[in-house]
Structure 1
């Protein structure tokens, strides 16, 4: 008799794996529309002209950008005509930038590389964010099983904002949603909760529930923000500012201020430790330890007036 099939997201939920502090760092994202089946390793596995492919890869690596393949929900077969691309840039002021274009030939990827290498911060501000749902089944089964219902529910509500995308990290937290260029990761979603979470996000209210973290922060800082949101209620993406971070071994003290324009301080103690080795993905049979950032204290300080 064969062993029962392993699903990493089921196992993570059964263990109660913590979401806060698990968002990968990122300030720039390159989106590349691609309708044909996605290779397991995403952009790297596409059968593109090697020179053009390498040009974009190197430009993205230079600015630590992540290249994600995207497609609209339900569209599996290749379609004729140009495909869309985008460069999304996070900005700490909240004036996030987006630049969109189209590509038909592999050589067109050079245009995206030029955008990444351009001095300054090219792109337009004021656009609504892009909602990316990981449905990369060839990378991890749970991403498809849990991601596609979420992509369907969100696409029905916000058809112009939502795209399916390749691997964004954290397979065991599927379904994963990345809101970019805001730089916010949500995980552990289903069709119903994803609509609630995205609706609140678009209304300027980030909730602690399902929040993995902000991509401009270190994991301990992400956990601190999530803890303050959980205790004091949802707030806008840029409501809290990290005013100080000190570390002594595995222990962190994070000082936050906000919500803006307030300067109320919050001191959050976070302890980092590794979990026992576990199988963390559906396809990777090897076990590995995950880093957990546990919040041990949240305290609101006093505002000092001169």
Structure 2
């Protein structure tokens, strides 16, 4: 594999956070970051460790894009096609927005000069277009975390071979230890612990309206305990489309949650899912740096049909 600058080849004494997480059996469910909007900026060169923040762009334009994204809590991701599948011509940008109705919105543009990116600020306030296919984003941000590149790039290659127009590599999406990570947006669905065959299967099933629990980290419109509840229902009753279930009630007493999940496919069924939240022991959760932290775990303990 040809290495991009900033990615060091694996060595026998290196610590890899994704290997450690797999050995521990860190649970995936309930680990997707909350978010309803994403800004994508195509950058074909090497990515700084801090992504968009580290780009040497015209300062006023950069500040305007950042402020507009921050105002709606949109995540800014740098994107590029996988190596060997390079687009010619102007670079692209996009604003992707999740809507609970399923009528997700997208707006795309191009940029040649830094100043062209100012159009992103206007797009964040515009309606956007519905009916476009989702974007498949594979985290391959090696300068942020080695595992994201080592595990992400083979996944990006496999998905690009199947879905060349939908797939982009992207900067950090969160959860390095679950690499390879895939975000399908603006659907707002995170998948993790993927290898190439699993990624192809998960994404093709997703596009066919069948989301499986096996590699699901969560839906980004839900909070962690709610994500875990929906994943538990999918694990118990089988795959379903993105909007087949809705969280209709949430209550909490201490570390215990009761999440009501309502299904919309016939026969419509409502489930009460109990979720327990607790902290794991402090561990190294990223490849870079020796610091440890304690992750929250959200465990579904029971499912009861109402």
> 1:273, 1:3 → 2: CA distance?
33
* Structure 2: gaps of 5 or more residues: 1-10
Name the CA distance, whole Å, in 1 between partners of 2:116 and 2:236: 48
**What is the match of residue 90 of structure 1?**
98
Name the SS of the counterpart of 2:161 in structure 1. helix
Cα gap change, 1:163 to 1:80, in 2 (>3 Å)? closer
Q: What's 1:151 paired with?
A: 156
CA displacement, residues 11-55 of structure 1 (integer Å, 9 cap, x when unaligned):
000000000000001100001000010000000000111111010
Instruction: Identify which of 64, 69, 72 aligns with 2:73.
Output: 64
Give the CA RMSD over aligned residues. Answer: 1.5
Query: Residues 261, 66 of structure 1: CA spacing in aligned structure 2 closer, same or farther, 3 A cutoff?
Result: farther
Name the counterpart of 2:259.
254
Native 8 Å contact 1:30 1:88 kept in 2: yes
Alpha-carbon separation, structure 2, partners of 1:261 and 1:28: 31
Q: CA deviation at 1:76?
A: 9.7
| Equivalent in the alignment of 1:105 | 113
SS in structure 1 at match of 2:124 = helix
* Structure 1 CA distance for aligned equivalents of residues 70 and 172 of structure 2: 17
Q: What secondary structure, in the 3-state scheme, does the structure 1 residue paired with 2:63 have?
A: helix
1:16 aligns with 2:25: yes
How many residues matched? 296
Rounded Cα–Cα distance in structure 2 between residues aligned with 1:12 and 1:50:
39
Q: Which runs of 4+ in 1 moved over 4 A?
A: none
Q: TM-score, normalised by structure 2?
A: 0.94
